[in-house]
Amino acid sequence: MKTILITGGLGQIGTELSTYLRQAYGTNNVIVTDVVKKDSPVVEAGPFEQLDVTDGKRLAELVDRYHVDTVLHLAALLSAVAEAHPQAAYRINLDGLFQVLEVAREKQLAVFTPSSIGAFGDSTPKVTPQDTIQRPSTMYGVTKVAGELLCDYYFRRFGVDTRGVRFPGLISYEALPGGGTTDYAVEIYYAALKTGKYVCPIAKGTLMDMMYIPDALRAVHELMEADPTKLKHRNAFNIAAMSFAPEDIAAAIQEELPSFTMSYQVNPTLQAIADSWPDKLEDTAAREEWGWKAQYDLKTMTKDMLKNLQPRLAETK
């Protein structure tokens, strides 16, 4: 039985992953941490500790106290926020990861940390193979590429069991997005139900890879449990589910809510980031090395998002 510590556990991914893994491994075997303590069912449901991930001493103390053997390192500034605050992004995203890896080296821990489609840039093929050029143009992307290399180094040099995936944009009805370029694909569902219209900050025709959060949670769990002898691309695997442009998601919503309308007011900063990213990740390596396969496409995700969001929004009125 694993004992898992999650950093950034109150963020968009961490909130849902904490609940998912507590169901899989037991509530007391998943310790959630974040830099601040917020009102959250995750905090009330099981062990929670405040942690600044750049504080390696504090992390080591928590690992010892709870007999942790696996760290899921999610704490990071996301793309849009990182571009607004590049110095903070470097400190949190890279120094935080370094502290986690150092504690893992000293205490023989396994580490999962996500990379992103943001690890690619303009020179990357738009249909992106597992192994390809990575020259991102954002601080977020720089930290993700450096993080992949750092995790590979700690595996080769020190034997730390490091694993990761390159997440596409993640869509969820449980937690609000946290400052990423793909946030529009979550906001549009809220707007569709609240007002019946949406002003999109991303230009028509801009393809980006996306994934519904249930698939993302399952990907983390399955990779953690995968046979290590079969993993050739530990840091990090491309994983994919669906690729769409803003007009595609609008059309999928209109199939369920015919009166929904969308207009465009492009945000130049977000658009520049989106234009530098892949249209679609090619995920053969993940399929072959640990059996990855997405379960949701745009149509099934849209039905599920609207069904689950409707009662939640009704409760807040």
Q: Which residues are catalytic?
A: 140
CA-CA distances (angstroms) from residue 143 to 3, 74, 112, 183?
27, 13, 16, 20
Residue 128 tokens, joined: 């992106």
Cα dihedral 178, 162, 122, 297 sign: negative
d(CA 146, CA 142): 6
Taking alpha carbons only, the member of 193, 172, 173, 201 closest to residue 273 is: 201
Taking alpha carbons only, the member of 88, 86, 71, 90 closest to residue 32 is: 71
Phi-psi region of 26 (alpha: psi -120 to 50; beta: other; left: phi over 0): left
Residue 65 tokens, joined: 């106290």
What residue type is 7 in one-letter code? T
d(CA 267, CA 56): 37
Report whether 187 contacts 12 (CB < 8 A): no
CA-CA distances (angstroms) from residue 77 to 9, 80, 117, 186, 300?
13, 8, 15, 18, 30
Q: How many CB atoms lie within 10 A of CB 259?
A: 8
The residue written with tokens 């937690």 in the block is 175
